[in-house]
Structure 1
């Protein structure tokens, strides 16, 4: 598997430039086509306050989105991305990205920054796109500098379908990584998932793909989310790969405990698949 189409969320947040640069680096490394997509949010106004109001709001929203796309163009050109395009989409971020993601190999977006909340911001964007696109999401923390990504990778392995998808979707990155650690927690409580040597099966699978790994079994009384972030800090990991658990009920997002914990408190980029 390789990444041939990447989708990055483009907006006017203070984190947009760093997000676009990371997406550009991945596109260059994978020789992939990079799509920068800015959502106008026009769909929120289609049935409000009459045609005159709609036209004025649409014009303003599209102008703001195009300014964000201008920054995307400039960064992609400056960094030397071979193939890229800008897209202006008249939808909200969650719906627009989820639909476009289905025709992409990887979606790059950011954790919600509580200091940049506005009335129109979707506060659960990473989880919404993950649950509604069937594609892997690379979520970047709003705090920190992540110029180095994918050199020292930590995989959260529990034998689930979600974790399996995440590992498979991360293969292009894992093959290039210098260090990959597969972490298993409290395996004695998962007797129906792991074999006689927990981690051996996924280790062999990855080895056949040319990925060199270390397997670590840990026992912990902490919640698994905090235990994973603690292990990532100890190892100096620059990427966490894990399954994402949850579902949507109407617009409400219902997440599993570990998924919710990681998405709320992430300290390193997280590649997550549902």
Structure 2
């Protein structure tokens, strides 16, 4: 009597059924359009930028004359304007990211309890994020004009002299930072609102029975439980802040005297104003490396903190 024995691959893996193989092929077909688009519009330009960073590429003519090696990186890292732009970008990131997260969490917690008009307040706070950034920046610049601007008119009522917010230091950078925080708070509020809605109400009820007030409940329950959301917003906020450009371009144009020039604005100036494609590409590669490095550090810190909390 013959006994049928199922054959198992020597590698120890179980052979997939025909249905599983068909599903796998269907999965590859479904992700193919997105993969192709990413390769064409992201990976290929990224590879081109890396190649151009080692040459004297001219964006105006599209020609590559010579391969200069790492000279572009040396010139960029010793360039006073680039270093000043890096400092401005670091200041922008350090202020905008924490403030937008803190204010977003504050408004999310404040609007967590249902009351009449809550939807209207959420809409008003979220609107700046979905509004066209160029239009918002133009309106913002009009409000800050020294003569006739609403802000300076209001200051004049208290006896203050008009302030050139967009053309004087340090007010120009302060204006860019305030505008960016105002724009981002709505987004962080919505994300935090979704996170807070997932907190079991029984936690708050138990804390209330124990005598905890609203502030104690916030710091003991809400804040720890939205920590993963805070990590996500910190990483995405940092990546977005490193790439700040439109606010600077519309509000201040990098001035006065480069006091609001950021890394991406410096790269734009080098590549599309002065047609120095090699240094611009080198600056872009450096910016990419900084973004990846800081994001990896953030992920490791967050992972370590989560493991400690679980322990």
User: TM-score per shorter chain, which class?
Assistant: under 0.3
Between Structure 1 and Structure 2, whose CA radius of gyration is higher?
A: 2
- Highest relative contact order (Cα 8 Å, sep 6+), 1 or 2? 2
Indicate the structure with greater helix content. Answer: 2
Indicate the structure with greater strand content. Answer: 1
* TM-score normalised by length of structure 1: 0.21
